[in-house]
Amino acid sequence: MFVHCSVSCCACYTGEAKTDSHGITEHPHDDKTGPYLCTVCDKRFTQKGSLKRHKRTHNGEKPFVCMVCGKCFAVKATLNEHKLTMHSAKFSYPCTQCEKCFSSQGCLRLHMNVHNSKYKCTECGKCFMNNQSLTWHRRIHSGEKPFECNVCSKRFTTAGGLVKHSRIHSGEKPYKCHMCDKAFSESGHLNTHMRVHTGEKPYKCHMCDKSFSQFGALKTHIRVHTGDKPYKCHVCDKAFSRSGHLNRHMRVHTGVKPYKCALCNKSFSELSGLHSHKRHIHSNRRPYHCPYCGMLFKTQGTLKRHVPVHTGAKPYSCRHCSERFTFRVQLKTHLLKSHNEGTWFTCHICQKQFSHTGNLKTHILRHEGVKPYVCSECSKCFYTAANLKSLQPVHSDYKQFCCFLCNKSFKRKRTVKAHFKMCSDIRGFPSV
């Protein structure tokens, strides 16, 4: 590889100048100042290690990670300084101009450069230790982004930012995990991933001693204690502790339902809603059985609502009269019809009224002729999931009713009830 030099260099001319795997070009002439050349900006260094550290200003690499807060650094000395100033238990040297404390007078003296530095931003008054840091900072105010991606034309304030971004296009992932061969585009991501293998959780909550593997997770957790909800909805002013919760909430206002069922095309605003729909409507798995009639259910909640049919329990009582009900929907209907309490749901086509919004939706489907529930065996369509379910035993040998005494299964409810009576008599159990 030939590297252009401003001085006459026979090593460059003959091709003897060598570039190693780090992109460092070494010139074998020790009589010249700075034999190590940066191929990005042509800056020279007298030591190979100095050039390697300098290269990190171009590629954005920060291999030194603070195990307390996860902050990454390009130079080990900066990491050590960070540990002393931010995480040391011995803070004997306080700064008179801010609230920071330091473990040594040398660290305090180094910190004071931030306040007294000649490298001061004229826009916000912030001070920096060197001119390069100030130059980078000024771009925040000016909006200057001198580094442009040659693939998508996106611009960046630093060369390191461009290098990280370019890996999106190239797919380059130079940081590999030696335990599972997973690769990452940034060293910080690899360091975080390693905690999956080590089980390390360095971020501890000082209020409940719970530990986390990532600093961001700790910050989010602390809001449980503080009650802080920084993410506010601009439509209704409702606030949330996580940005993801706000994003989901916004779908209430926008009506967006990005999760669509591939079997019946029904859409949902949340992924959990889609999973629940598939499990309740399209899955045949029923792990919960009734101890009284052997009927199988997909969810424990459905079983819980079914059991009062056998026990006769009526947990829902009317506050206006002595009537009691097995199901909440029965109480709601009673309040509407008998005490005029609540809201009727009215069909906009025929003005028929319903006590439950689900009944209204099913009713409107009949007006529109829409049958969203399709049998996967014969393609017959139905208005409701219950109608579709009633057809299932016709096509398969699936047996949804089970005798919990002998585990024998049946297609029909009436069959398992007759069997259950006989089975309980044989075993000496009283039948219900």
pLDDT at 68: 67
- pLDDT at site 185: 87
- The per-residue pLDDT string of the chain (432 residues; one tens digit each, 9 = 90 and over) reads 333 333 334 334 334 444 444 444 444 444 445 778 888 777 787 888 888 888 877 777 788 887 766 677 877 877 776 765 566 555 567 777 766 666 677 777 777 777 776 788 888 777 787 788 888 888 888 888 888 999 999 998 888 888 889 988 998 888 888 888 889 888 888 888 888 888 888 888 888 888 888 888 888 888 888 888 888 888 888 888 888 888 888 888 888 888 888 877 788 888 888 888 887 777 777 788 888 877 788 888 888 888 888 888 888 899 999 999 988 888 988 998 899 888 888 988 899 888 888 888 888 888 888 887 787 777 788 887 777 777 666 676 667 677 767 878 877 777 877 887 788 777 776 554
pTM across the whole model: 0.40
- Token digits for 130? 């060197």
Would you say 286 and 302 are in contact if contact means Cβ atoms under 8 Å apart? no
Dihedral sign, Cα of residue 296, residue 301, residue 303, residue 305: negative
Question: What was the pLDDT predicted at 85?
Answer: 55
Q: Which domains does the chain have, with CATH numbers?
A: 10-59 (no CATH), 203-254 (3.30.160.60), 288-427 (3.30.160.60)
Supply the DSSP symbol for 321. S
User: What residues contact residue 383 under an 8 Å CB cut-off, 6+ apart?
Assistant: 362, 365, 366, 370, 371, 372, 373
Confidence at residue 28, expressed as pLDDT on a 0 to 100 scale: 44
